[in-house]
Amino acid sequence: MPASEVAAHEIRTSLFRLVRRLRQERPEGELSYSQLNVLGWLEREGPMTNADLAAAERVTPQTMMRATADLVTSDLISRADNPADRRQVLLEITAAGATLVRDDRRRRDTFLAKAMDATLTPTEQDLLHLAARLMDKLAEVPQ
């Protein structure tokens, strides 16, 4: 197996292990990972249609409608007519939803920072920071 394939396998599996560990930092009974992703999209990108969210998450519009319905019921997102096309509904994060997303990110960032300080040398932390930038670069490679 070529070295790049070995490295790709190790990066992918390590990344998934870290994502699973970060998910453990979320309290039981909070939103599903999919619902948190929806809030994240709306917080970063602003109001979006259900179809836009479904495309961004690569799920069916029906699946996205189920996820967003619970978020509307919980007052974490709101619905409004799309001024550009009255047939469409825009979904927008509420103040409560934005607070939830920020608190969730802060909790996971705090865990990760503490784990890095306790486990990694300053040089290793610098390398990991560089690796994060490189992974962002890879994530932007066109399909």
Question: Averaged over 106-133, what is the pLDDT?
Answer: 96
Q: What is the mean pLDDT of residues 35-60?
A: 94
Q: What is the pLDDT of residues 64-117, one digit of tens each?
A: 999 899 999 999 999 998 888 888 899 999 999 999 999 999 999 999 999 999
**Residue 30 in this model has a pLDDT that exceeds 80:** no
User: 134 pLDDT exceeds 90?
Assistant: yes
**CATH label of the domain that carries residue 18:** 1.10.10.10
Global confidence as pTM? 0.81
Instruction: Work out the pLDDT band at 34, boundaries 50, 70, 90.
Output: confident
**Residue 123 vs residues 44, 50, 116, 134: alpha-carbon distances, Å:** 31, 44, 11, 17
Question: Structural domain tally of the chain?
Answer: 1
Q: What is the average per-residue pLDDT within 42-58?
A: 94
Distinct helix (H) and strand (E) counts, the chain: 6, 3
Helix (H, G, I), strand (E, B) or coil at 86: strand
Crossing angle for the helix pair 61-73 and 33-45, nearest 10 degrees? 80
Least Cα distance to 21 among 123, 116, 103 occurs for: 116
Domain containing 116: what range?
A: 3-139
Integer Cα distance of 65 and 48 in angstroms: 13
50 neighbors 65 (Cβ within 8 angstroms): yes
The stretch 43-63 carries a mean pLDDT of: 93
